[in-house]
């Protein structure tokens, strides 16, 4: 438990330092640069150099965003798997996770691979028929399924213990996500 607290403390401290650093250093530079560019106070050479610096900054931010997104997804999945497994016997809704600084609501949804209209015509027609589409609408491609909504439907059917949507193969799998928010400070 001490290792977990230390890791959390490090993240919280770094968060404060990074935000303070950003506000005190980078944000004023952005404001100053934009103001100078809008006034026409920068030469073409300066604009070119600053554009390159901003591009490098964006590349760093994109790289960090990708790493942070991957880490967030891994942490959400780990939290959900552990929490859902520890509350399987409960017939009620799964309670929220209450961390030191956050509250999280685990969400488990079914992700599916929908058949392609071009490659899997028979399965596509079965799926669309199960969703209530008329054959005439399929002929003219007048209707297209909304993937997140079909995933929600598959999740609801799985929760109710009903068979899946016809035409969709068993390549469905659960996806875990965590809706987090900061705990209120006292």
Structural domain includes residue 110:
yes
Range of the domain at 74: 2-86
**Residue 114, Cβ neighbours under 10 Å: how many?**
20
User: Is residue 73 domain-shared with residue 143, that is, in the same domain?
Assistant: no
Q: Which residue has the tokens 């993937």?
A: 147
User: Is residue 72 domain-shared with residue 149, that is, in the same domain?
Assistant: no
| Residue 99 to residue 79: CA distance in whole angstroms | 11
Torsion angle, CA of 75/77/78/79, rounded to 10 degrees?
80
Q: What is the structure's pLDDT at 92?
A: 65
CA separation, residue 85 to residues 8, 160, 172 (Å): 23, 19, 20
> What's the pLDDT band for 31 if we cut at 50, 70, 90?
very high
How many independent structural domains does the chain possess? 2
User: Is residue 39 domain-shared with residue 75, that is, in the same domain?
Assistant: yes
Give the sheet arrangement for strand 173-182, strand by strand: 97-98, 102-111, 173-182
pLDDT tens, 44-79? 999 999 999 999 989 998 998 999 899 999 999 999
- Model's pTM, two decimal places? 0.63
* Domain stop point among 86, 117, 138: 86
Structural domain includes residue 148:
yes
pLDDT beyond 60 at 1 = no
């Amino acid at each position: 438990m001490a290792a977990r607290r230390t890791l959390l403390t490090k993240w919280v401290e770094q968060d404060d330092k990074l935000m303070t650093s950003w506000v005190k250093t980078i944000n004023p530079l952005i404001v100053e640069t934009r103001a100078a560019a809008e006034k026409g106070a920068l030469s073409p050479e300066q604009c070119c150099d600053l554009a390159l610096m901003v591009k490098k900054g964006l590349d760093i931010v994109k790289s960090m965003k990708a790493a942070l997104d991957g880490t967030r997804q891994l942490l959400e999945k780990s939290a959900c798997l552990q929490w859902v497994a520890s509350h399987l016997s409960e017939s009620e809704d799964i309670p929220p996770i209450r961390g030191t600084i956050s509250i999280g609501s685990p969400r488990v949804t079914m992700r599916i691979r929908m058949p392609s209209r071009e490659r899997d015509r028979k399965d596509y027609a079965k799926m669309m028929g199960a969703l209530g589409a008329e054959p005439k609408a399929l002929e003219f491609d007048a209707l297209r399924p909304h993937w997140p909504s079909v995933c929600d439907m598959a999740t609801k059917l799985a929760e109710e213990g009903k068979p899946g949507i016809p035409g969709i193969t068993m390549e469905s799998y659960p996806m875990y996500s965590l809706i987090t928010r900061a705990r209120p400070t006292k």
